[in-house]
């Protein structure tokens, strides 16, 4: 209302300035239809009735009649809405020109209605939004031209200015072109970063100068295009991973990730291993797309405990980022303990002291911690394994050794680590136990007894003693030694010898049971050790009898010259004991069991001999017809196999008186002849001996003279004198362990008649050595014989001489 009023007043003022007949009005555009434009009746000074009568009307050439005339009131009213911009465009001023025509009289009046602008049009842009694609790499200060807005209004109401919001990135620049037009630009103030803001939205507002202001806006959409301005970045600058050693090839160690803030190909990342230390070369590979680092080689904790790998990530634009990968290798128990023998002795003496070190061992395990902790043990309790210091062990003896019990030990040293599962290794040491001479030889038996039949050949092996020695080799080499002793005052070595090597006992001499029945000695077995050990054993040799002695007739005594006869009185009865043949046999047992038989007799019918006792008795009455001189041959036999015998001639005189006997027995012609011959031979021998003596004297004197002369020639030559001993005088008194030729002579009597030894012979020099036990008997025999001349009484011992009463085998009869 106020607005309108103002315009109306103005119109009034304009009316006063116009000339008569011409009225101007001014109204703003866009007045509603029927709005009051001007009171022409008043302004033209016309009466309303004139208007009616004159049929006043509006005349215009325009096609559209905007204003109509109200004749009743004489005012102009708006008939059509007026849009100044539609009517005049940008032309100013904008006015309607028309005439009011009157009739009666015809007259007209020119009316001008100026249409004033009201701000009814906002500035407008051609498009409501505009789209820009701007690379983020665009520099600050770069300008971008924007569309201008248009405002149909004119004057004050026309476009005044622009506003761009927000202002942080871009600012608006309006350049006045020379022709008065304006150029609207926006200028980049700060660098773009697609990674921060990929899309920007701005609003450009165009503002006019109207009151109230009107604005038009345009959306500006900016898409920030990517530039490769970001390098790939790893999520971690250092990756740490661990793998077990001996992991299979292809094991994924770690996956590295890098990101690239860029877009598209600028953010497509390719991974690669940029460098690694020598020992890691070939160890890993990386999947260039996924970033999986996998194991390619064999990780061995004992060779490398960790690896460092540099990994690079590159985008397609060529930017790179890198990170470091540290891979720790975890120890697995993959190494067995390694046993090393530092020094060892293969042989140890069985008398080695306790805790003698035999072997020193070093054990290593390449693994780490528990996997490398090693314990060692052995399978033998004779020995002991002692840890001297870490990883070093000494194998030493822990108890007494005895080669005879065990000469060799296989000691297995087993070392195992503490890993799970535990690994172990072992080594076997062979230890020989060397011998020490700690065992003496031992005979197989505690004593020996052996038999040998007398009259053996010297050198005969009797039997063998055997001793064993538990030691070894030289210490077990047994030598047999005959211990010195004497048998009946004679060194035992003259009886037997022992073969040192074999232990065979040999008879050195021929034994005579009648001289020695048994004897014993000691044999020592000695080993070859140093010092040697020995033991001894008693050996008893029993000599067995052989029937090597014929019976010996003790009575009647057989003499060379004289004749001894038993007297039998003619009056003797049947069974008269004539005499008794007494014989002994130095053998023993059956060999000394004697029997007596009558071999020959002058008259077989007269005498008999007791088979057992040797008694000669008459078996019939003696008659006068029987010859005085009776001659009996009695054979004495022993019971040996074969048996031996002796014969004795018993002269019996069957007479009542001595003269009768003597006449019968004196004539022994063969005895006289024997004496004559003896005398002749004695004279001859004397002559020969005298001759030889003289010859020897001559020879000796000649030799002496010759030697004296020779020694004068060789006075200064001083030749050595080599003593000469005949071979038979070599060492005959040996130890008994050596074999010698043993010379011995035994004087023995085989047959009393043929022997050099005679018993009781007149004038002979007899030596009688007798066993005391039988001395009495013998002396009694001799005494009886000598006292009674040639007769023996019947009081003689009637018993058969037995081994107990006969002279012992020791006795010897030696005749000169």
As measured in angstroms, the least distance from the Cβ of 438 to ligand NAG is 17
Instruction: Identify which of 311, 226, 227, 223 has the alpha carbon closest to the alpha carbon of residue 269.
Output: 311
Q: How far apart are alpha carbons 440 and 446 in whole angstroms?
A: 14
Interface with ligand NAG by CB under 6 A: which residues?
408, 410, 430, 483, 536
φ and ψ of 12, to 5 deg: -60, -45
Q: Nearest 5°: CA angle at 627, between 622 and 630?
A: 90
Of 432 and 562, nearer to ligand NAG (C-beta) is: 432
Q: How far apart are alpha carbons 142 and 550 in whole angstroms?
A: 169
As measured in angstroms, the least distance from the Cβ of 728 to ligand NAG is 32
Of 346 and 430, nearer to ligand NAG (C-beta) is: 430
Instruction: Identify which of 297, 299, 298 has the alpha carbon closest to the alpha carbon of residue 328.
Output: 299
As measured in angstroms, the least distance from the Cβ of 784 to ligand NAG is 51
Of 430 and 788, nearer to ligand NAG (C-beta) is: 430
Q: Nearest 5°: CA angle at 199, between 195 and 204?
A: 140
As measured in angstroms, the least distance from the Cβ of 407 to ligand NAG is 8
As measured in angstroms, the least distance from the Cβ of 346 to ligand NAG is 12
Instruction: Identify which of 106, 108, 118, 81 has the alpha carbon closest to the alpha carbon of residue 96.
Output: 81
- The one-character DSSP state at 433 is E
Q: Specify whether the backbone of 282 is left (phi greater than 0), alpha (psi in -120 to 50) or beta.
A: left
Q: Return the bridge partners of 123, or none.
A: none
Please give the order of strands across the beta sheet that includes 615-618.
577-580, 615-618, 607-609
Buried b (16+ CB within 10 A) or exposed e, 669-705: eeeeeeeeeeeeeeeeeeeeeeeeeeeeeeeeeeeee
Of 76 and 525, nearer to ligand NAG (C-beta) is: 525
Neighbours of 299 (CB within 10 A): 26
Q: How far apart are alpha carbons 342 and 169 in whole angstroms?
A: 84
Which pair of tokens denotes residue 305? 């405990």
For residues 338 and 365, the answer to whether their CB atoms sit within 8 Å is yes
As measured in angstroms, the least distance from the Cβ of 494 to ligand NAG is 19
For residues 267 and 315, the answer to whether their CB atoms sit within 8 Å is yes
Task: Decide: helix, strand or coil at residue 701.
Answer: helix
Task: Reply yes or no: is the peptide bond before residue 166 cis, omega within 30 of 0.
Answer: yes
Of 11 and 359, nearer to ligand NAG (C-beta) is: 359
For residues 588 and 789, the answer to whether their CB atoms sit within 8 Å is no
Of 410 and 750, nearer to ligand NAG (C-beta) is: 410
Instruction: Identify which of 292, 266, 296 has the alpha carbon closest to the alpha carbon of residue 280.
Output: 296
As measured in angstroms, the least distance from the Cβ of 564 to ligand NAG is 57
As measured in angstroms, the least distance from the Cβ of 305 to ligand NAG is 40
As measured in angstroms, the least distance from the Cβ of 466 to ligand NAG is 17
Q: For the range 4-7, what are the long-range contacts, defined as Cβ-Cβ under 8 Å and sequence gap of 24 or more?
A: 4/35, 7/116
Q: How far apart are alpha carbons 213 and 162 in whole angstroms?
A: 12
Of 410 and 764, nearer to ligand NAG (C-beta) is: 410
As measured in angstroms, the least distance from the Cβ of 483 to ligand NAG is 5
Neighbours of 238 (CB within 10 A): 10
Of 412 and 779, nearer to ligand NAG (C-beta) is: 412
As measured in angstroms, the least distance from the Cβ of 739 to ligand NAG is 23
Of 100 and 523, nearer to ligand NAG (C-beta) is: 523
Of 410 and 794, nearer to ligand NAG (C-beta) is: 410
As measured in angstroms, the least distance from the Cβ of 271 to ligand NAG is 59
Residues in the chain: 816
Of 179 and 408, nearer to ligand NAG (C-beta) is: 408
Of 447 and 612, nearer to ligand NAG (C-beta) is: 447
As measured in angstroms, the least distance from the Cβ of 531 to ligand NAG is 14
Of 430 and 802, nearer to ligand NAG (C-beta) is: 430
Q: How far is CA 340 from the centre of its chain?
A: 10
- Tell me how far apart the terminal alpha carbons of the chain are, to the nearest angstrom: 215
């Amino acid at each position: 209302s106020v607005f309108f009023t103002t315009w109306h007043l103005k119109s009034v003022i304009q009316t006063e300035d116009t000339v008569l007949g011409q009225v101007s009005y001014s109204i703003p555009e866009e007045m509603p239809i029927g709005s009051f434009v001007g009171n022409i009746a008043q302004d033209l000074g016309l009466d309303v009735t004139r208007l009616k009568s004159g049929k006043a009307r509006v005349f215009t050439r325009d096609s559209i009649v905007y204003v109509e005339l109200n004749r009743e009131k004489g005012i102009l009213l708006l008939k059509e809405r007026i849009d100044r911009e539609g009517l005049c465009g940008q032309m100013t001023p904008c006015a309607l020109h028309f005439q009011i025509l009157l009739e009666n009289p015809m007259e007209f009046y020119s009316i001008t209605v100026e249409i004033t602008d009201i701000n009814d049009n906002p500035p407008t842009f051609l498009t409501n939004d505009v789209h820009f694609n701007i690379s983020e790499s665009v520099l600050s200060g770069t300008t971008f031209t924007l569309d201008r807005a248009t405002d149909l209004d004119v004057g004050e109401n026309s476009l005044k200015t622009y506003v761009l919001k927000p202002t942080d990135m871009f600012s608006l620049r309006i350049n006045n072109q020379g022709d008065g037009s304006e150029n609207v630009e926006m200028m980049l103030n700060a660098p773009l970063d697609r990674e921060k803001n990929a899309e920007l939205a701005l609003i450009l507002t165009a503002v006019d100068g109207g009151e109230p202001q009107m604005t038009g806006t345009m959306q500006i959409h900016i898409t920030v295009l990517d530039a490769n301005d970001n390098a790939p970045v790893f999520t971690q600058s250092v990756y740490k991973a661990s793998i077990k050693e001996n992991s299979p090839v292809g094991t994924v160690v770690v996956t590295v990730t890098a990101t690239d803030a860029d877009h598209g190909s600028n953010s497509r990342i390719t991974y690669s291993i940029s460098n690694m230390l020598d020992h890691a070369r070939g160890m890993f590979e990386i999947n260039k797309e996924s970033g999986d680092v996998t194991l390619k080689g064999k990780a061995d904790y004992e060779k490398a405990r960790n690896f460092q790998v540099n990994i690079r990530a590159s985008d397609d634009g060529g930017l790179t980022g890198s990170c470091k990968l540290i891979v720790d290798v975890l120890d697995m128990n993959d190494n067995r303990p390694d046993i090393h023998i530092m020094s060892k002795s293969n042989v140890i003496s069985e008398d080695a002291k306790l805790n003698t070190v035999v072997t020193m061992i070093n054990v290593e395990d390449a693994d780490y911690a528990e996997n490398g902790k090693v314990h060692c043990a052995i399978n033998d309790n004779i020995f002991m394994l002692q840890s001297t210091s870490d990883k070093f062990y000494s194998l030493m003896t822990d108890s007494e050794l005895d080669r005879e019990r065990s000469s060799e030990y296989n000691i297995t040293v087993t070392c195992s680590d503490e890993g799970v599962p535990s690994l172990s290794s072992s080594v076997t040491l062979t230890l020989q136990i060397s011998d020490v001479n700690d065992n003496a030889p031992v005979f197989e038996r505690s004593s020996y007894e052996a038999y040998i039949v007398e009259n053996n050949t010297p050198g005969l092996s009797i039997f063998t003693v055997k001793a064993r020695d538990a030691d070894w080799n030289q210490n077990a080499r047994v030598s047999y030694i005959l211990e010195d002793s004497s048998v009946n005052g004679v060194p035992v070595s003259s009886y037997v010898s022992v073969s040192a090597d074999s232990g065979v006992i040999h008879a050195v001499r021929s034994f005579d049971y009648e001289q020695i029945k048994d004897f014993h000695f000691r044999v020592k077995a000695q080993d070859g050790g140093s010092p040697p050990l020995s033991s001894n054993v008693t050996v008893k040799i029993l000599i067995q009898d052989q029937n090597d002695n014929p019976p010996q007739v003790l009575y009647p005594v057989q003499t060379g010259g004289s004749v001894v006869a038993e007297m039998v009185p003619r009056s003797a009865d049947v069974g008269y004991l004539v005499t008794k043949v007494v014989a002994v046999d130095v053998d023993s047992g059956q060999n000394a069991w004697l029997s007596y038989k009558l071999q020959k007799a002058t008259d077989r019918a007269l005498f008999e001999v007791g088979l057992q006792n040797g008694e000669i008795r008459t078996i019939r009455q003696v008659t006068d017809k029987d010859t005085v001189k009776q001659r009996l041959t009695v054979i004495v036999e022993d019971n040996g196999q074969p048996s031996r015998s002796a014969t004795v001639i018993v002269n019996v005189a069957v007479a009542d008186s001595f003269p009768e006997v003597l006449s019968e027995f004196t004539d022994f012609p063969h005895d006289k002849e024997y004496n004559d011959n003896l005398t002749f031979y004695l004279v001859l021998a004397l002559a020969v001996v005298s001759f030889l003596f003289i010859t020897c004297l001559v020879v000796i004197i000649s030799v002496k003279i010759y030697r004296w002369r020779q020694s004068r020639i060789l006075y200064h030559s001083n030749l050595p004198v080599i003593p000469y001993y005949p071979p038979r005088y070599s060492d005959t008194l040996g130890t008994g362990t050596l074999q010698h030729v043993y010379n011995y002579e035994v004087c023995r009597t085989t047959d009393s008649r043929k022997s050099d030894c005679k018993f009781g012979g007149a004038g002979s020099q007899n030596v009688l050595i007798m066993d005391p036990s039988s001395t009495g008997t013998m002396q009694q025999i001799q005494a009886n014989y000598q006292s009674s001349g040639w007769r023996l009484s019947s009081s003689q011992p009637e018993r058969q001489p037995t081994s107990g009463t006969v002279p012992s085998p020791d006795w010897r009869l030696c005749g000169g």
